[in-house]
């Protein structure tokens, strides 16, 4: 089993590091938060005093941090100077494609191997070891990353070269944001047309309108399977995180000169929704705002 440095033990990283320890790895864990370090110790990791200490002597260094600036800072200030030559850096945070490519180039210039490996799946999937990883990096780097990531996920997919994992993540979540808004609109319109929403669900979920936002995550209570809508829009995937991903998608679209009108509209709507105090509400809760607007 490998020695693994793990930096960023928050909602996601805490569960992921615990799964690596459970699989028998020697996990050296670091976070700025003392509570997060205590939880990591209880989960079988060895808390260390700095990000550099987590990286030193590790075969693999995993980061699960809020945004690109945190990843770049931790790499530049701590990891690059401490990691052994040939160590693999796996950044599982959701960050912008440009930063992902820049830090991978910088890592390679230092004799390290780097992949971006963002995840699909929330806190429950992180704790349960059922995340999906989308990996950007060389074939050889993917071959080294895959066995480590598979302790934390149900699927590990090679997306392409460095940055391709982040590209897959933000394109997926832009699609999710747009289809959630469209699903909300369709259910609200069905209701206004005196069509029972469950009957609409039964029809559309096996017709050409079917999509994950409807079939698996219907945003109305009592319609389709159990979802956060049945729990007052608590739990699930926070609207603030959806907005973060939509903004990353819009930045990437601007930098790549891509036309994304539906993504842009979804970003506007989620901005309004979160600015109204709903950043912590499940992203399907936007149906309430769309209903009010009518
Ligand atoms: P979080 O805020 O709960 O955790 C981030 C952790 O990083 C915190 O514990 C913080 O103390 C730590 N941290 C920040 N700067 C640090 C530094 N310099 N050194 C060490 N530790 C530092 O966030 P999260 O929900 O765990 O999300 C982490 C990443 O995963 C984000 O990029 C997010 O977009 C992505 N993500 C989250 C979810 C989700 O449902 N929460 C789902 C998919 C992807």
The Å distance, Cα 195 to ligand 1 centre, comes to 42
Alpha-carbon span 164 to 97, nearest angstrom: 8
pLDDT tens column, 264-274: 999 999 999 99
The pLDDT of residue 294: 55
pLDDT band (50, 70, 90) for residue 1: confident
> Is a pLDDT exceeding 90 seen at residue 254?
yes
Whether 95 contacts 115, CB under 8 Å:
no
Mutate to test the pocket of ligand 1, among 66, 125, 247 (most ligand atoms within 8 A of CB): 66
Tell me the mean pLDDT in the region 181-203. Answer: 98
pLDDT band (50, 70, 90) for residue 235: confident
Tell me the mean pLDDT in the region 40-68. Answer: 98
Query: What are the φ/ψ torsions at residue 260 (nearest 5 degrees)?
Result: -135, 65
The pLDDT of residue 228: 95
Atom 12 of ligand 1 has which residue's CA nearest to it? 8
Query: Does ligand 1 lie within 6 Å of residue 165's CB atom?
Result: no
- What percent of the chain shows pLDDT beyond 70? 99
Domains in the chain (CATH in brackets) are 3-161 (3.40.50.720), 167-293 (1.10.1040.10)
Report the catalytic residues. Answer: 169
Alpha-carbon span 294 to 289, nearest angstrom: 9
Q: pLDDT higher for 294 or 46?
A: 46
The Å distance, Cα 4 to ligand 1 centre, comes to 18
Whether 145 contacts 115, CB under 8 Å:
yes
| Count of Cβ atoms closer than 10 Å to residue 252 Cβ | 21
Tell me the mean pLDDT in the region 91-114. Answer: 97
The Å distance, Cα 35 to ligand 1 centre, comes to 14
Does the complex come out with an ipTM higher than 0.90? yes
* Whole-number average pLDDT of the chain: 97
Tell me the mean pLDDT in the region 237-261. Answer: 97
> Is a pLDDT exceeding 70 seen at residue 45?
yes
Whether 172 contacts 246, CB under 8 Å:
no
Query: Does ligand 1 lie within 6 Å of residue 127's CB atom?
Result: no
Asked which of 35-44, 63-72, 177-186, 285-294 is least confident by mean pLDDT, the reply is 285-294
Query: Does ligand 1 lie within 6 Å of residue 70's CB atom?
Result: yes
The Å distance, Cα 103 to ligand 1 centre, comes to 18
Query: What are the φ/ψ torsions at residue 159 (nearest 5 degrees)?
Result: -90, -25
Alpha-carbon span 71 to 189, nearest angstrom: 43
Give the global pTM: 0.94
Query: Does ligand 1 lie within 6 Å of residue 166's CB atom?
Result: no
Query: Does ligand 1 lie within 6 Å of residue 8's CB atom?
Result: yes
């Amino acid at each position: 089993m490998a020695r693994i440095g793990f930096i960023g033990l928050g909602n996601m990283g805490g569960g992921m590091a615990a799964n690596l320890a459970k699989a028998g790895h020697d996990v050296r864990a670091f976070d700025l938060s003392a509570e997060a370090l205590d939880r990591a110790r209880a989960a079988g990791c060895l808390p260390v005093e700095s990000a550099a200490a987590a990286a030193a002597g590790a075969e693999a260094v995993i980061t699960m941090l809020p945004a690109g600036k945190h990843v770049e800072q931790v790499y530049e200030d701590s990891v690059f100077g401490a990691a052994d030559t040939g160590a693999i850096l796996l950044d599982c945070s959701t960050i912008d494609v440009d930063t992902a490519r820049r830090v991978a180039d910088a890592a390679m210039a230092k004799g390290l191997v780097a992949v971006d490996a963002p995840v699909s799946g929330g806190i429950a999937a992180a704790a349960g070891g059922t995340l999906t990883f989308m990996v950007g990096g060389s074939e050889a780097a993917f071959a080294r990353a895959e066995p480590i990531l598979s302790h934390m996920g149900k699927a590990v997919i090679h997306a392409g070269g460095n940055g391709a994992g982040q590209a897959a993540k933000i394109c997926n979540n832009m699609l999710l944001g747009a289809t959630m808004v469209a699903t909300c609109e369709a259910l609200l319109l069905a209701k206004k047309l005196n069509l029972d929403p469950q009957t609409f669900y039964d029809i559309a979920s096996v017709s050409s309108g079917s999509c994950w936002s409807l079939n698996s995550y219907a945003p109305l209570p009592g319609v389709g399977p159990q979802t956060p809508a049945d729990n007052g829009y608590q739990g699930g995937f926070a609207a603030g995180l959806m907005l973060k991903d939509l903004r990353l998608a819009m930045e990437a679209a601007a930098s790549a000169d891509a036309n994304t009108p539906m993504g842009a509209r979804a970003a506007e709507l989620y901005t309004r929704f979160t600015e109204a105090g709903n950043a912590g509400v499940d992203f399907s809760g936007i149906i309430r705002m769309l209903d009010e607007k009518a």
